[in-house]
Amino acid sequence: MSEHATSLPDPQICETARLSRDARFDGLFFTAVSSTGIYCRSVCPAPAPKRENVSYFANAAAAEAAGYRPCLRCRPELAPGNTGWQRGDHVVARALKLIETGALEDQSLEDLAARLAIGTRQLRRLFVERVGAPPISVHTTRRLLFAKQLLTETAMPVTEVALASGFNSLRRFNAAFLQANRIAPRELRRHPRAVTGAALELRLGYRPPYDFDALLAFLRGRALPGVELVDEHSYSRVFGPSDAPGWLRLSAWPDGEHALRLQLHCPQPSQLLGVVTKLRRMFDLDANPQAIADTFQHDAVLGPLIARRPGLRLPGGWDGFEIAVRAILGQQISVAAARTLATRIVQRYGEALPVVAVPGLERLFPTPAALAHADLREIGLTTARTATVQGVAQALLDGRVDFRAEQSLDTFVARWVALPGIGEWTAHYIAMRALSEPDAFPAADLILRREATTSAVPLTTKALTQRAETWRPWRAYAVMHLWRGATDAAPIPKEKRSKPTRASK
């Protein structure tokens, strides 16, 4: 039995997980069977193969590069991703982030290597050594697995499936799919599970435990009327462009399956993979809760919190600029007050949709160009806050700041705090929500400084920063646990005496 690539769990752990079908390891490794030529998820319901026929691979691309094809029963395309590959500033981690955001869809491998300041040959070598497959294979596997899910779960025409998975040529798509799956695309369409013309319905898998209710509660308190709808069971949103808008709804998959149910109307097939990728990041579906728990479980403060809510995730944001504006609005005021100001901005400067497909979803959040010169004092912002929003909008238009996936946390924070009105708290909060940066840490936050100690006296920002060193690389998850812990512990005020309180944004 062999193992491949550096992030593969210990082979004995893999063996135990596959025999027990442990969902906590779903997507962290794949089981390849030499006697069948097929690779499977750790949760595959098929009878367990003999140990001598099994090899373990850390990712689907490595398994396919070794000549294995995906299982039609457990469907590797439904496995959660493994963000462990993308942590840190190593060139491979940065390259994987770029590939996930579509860098190789419209750029060559040479362009990707140049963006990383490395030679093409060296980039290939590093990928083969660390990932088990070259960059192009990683990119192609990602596209083909998404195509396989669309072919299996929807009634989309094969031509649209090819476009949605990043193939501009149907001939090339058919050839690549046949080579990887040993089956033609149309052979998966014999029993379509959707009605042509209806919204797509897809499964978005995750590793348990997953506290979807807590994530919805966080988003519900910040939901923008007209742009989002969040109730106790689902999240809905409209997205642009305005001349061909789409909408989506996420809810728990019925029958207890470890997945969310995505209902999606996306007029442009070429946007589909990007939308699904963004939602996986926004709802933190690829997190490894066991790794996070291992870091926190012996901490005096975080240990009890993670035991109480082991599935707490990091809520991301749909759009970086939207998160940045809301972070600025939330400086030193309550969540409710910041939401009120953001709602006014949407109503005044957000673009109204000509046709409303879902009642309550009728506007798009304004673009940087729309706010770069907007006088937001008219809707209640201070002169200083108005200048900061305008400055951020202009900086994004000028390219002085951005939300590029490959930049390090330190680089991102340094560029943002150079803008007037943006401090460390705001920059880290934006990184946490817009980039889903797992180690972002707004240490100046009052609630964090209060909740991170058993003393009645809050920690100083410096003391909290030092205290949090043992929480790396998951400090953003510590933030969520401390914020949630403060909410759970807060007494419910009497209705007549309730007042807005200053809270984390």
Give catalytic residue positions.
40, 445
Bridge partners (DSSP) of residue 237 are 228, 248
Q: Which helix (H) or strand (E) holds 200?
A: strand 200-205
Distance separating alpha carbons of residues 302 and 479, to the nearest angstrom: 10
Give alpha helix (H) positions in 89-165.
Answer: 91-100, 103-106, 109-115, 120-130, 135-153, 158-164
SS (HEC) of 277-343: HHHHHHCCCCCCHHHHHHHHCCCCCHHHHHHHCCCCCCCCCCCHHHHHHHHHHCCCCCHHHHHHHHH
What sign for the dihedral angle of Cα 34, 40, 46, 50? positive
Q: Which amino acid is at 82?
A: N
What are the Cα distances from residue 239, in Å, to 227, 282, 297, 350, 360?
8, 14, 39, 12, 13
Distance separating alpha carbons of residues 153 and 318, to the nearest angstrom: 24
What strands lie across the sheet with 234-239, from one edge to the other? Answer: 200-205, 259-265, 246-252, 234-239, 228-230
Distance separating alpha carbons of residues 281 and 276, to the nearest angstrom: 9
Token pair 């942590």 in the structure block, residue:
87
Crossing angle of helices 320-329 and 335-349, rounded to 10°: 130
3-state DSSP call for residue 417? helix
